Structure 1
């Protein structure tokens, strides 16, 4: 059973190496090799969340966790009722950590 597993792994590795060698030989010389892509193309594929996200971008779970923190402070709780959770949390605890 061990021999069969090792044999299958070796065949799989050789197929992967052969496929990589044949695709790199077939590709033109202008394209980058491997996993490197242009910055513009990568930014369209992978969207990163910026540090200064707008309050409207917060999920309901994130807003609820801010609300739970703010409810423990009586002054923050009162301000939350009048000005909203984002303004109250920012006033008493600083910038939102998400």
Structure 2
């Protein structure tokens, strides 16, 4: 049983090594020059501010305690559509959309 586990780990390691992951040691030859492979998770501040959703007016998560937010999550988890919206838009937006105004 141990030999099978070791063999599996060796196979996984071999696959990872042979996957041909890009080498991050290469630097840009020209400052500011970007190639399609240079795109990453970092974006300019202006672009990030347009992509990140701004806070909505009204009830902010800071206005509710942790216990209140947890009770809203428990109610919303009973409805599959509300739970999906909670994961994408936030608990306050999901609860308000499916159950009306927050009772606290």
TM-score normalized with structure 1 length? 0.45
Larger Rg: 1
Higher helix share: 1
Greater relative contact order, per chain length (Cα 8 Å cut-off, separation 6+)? 1
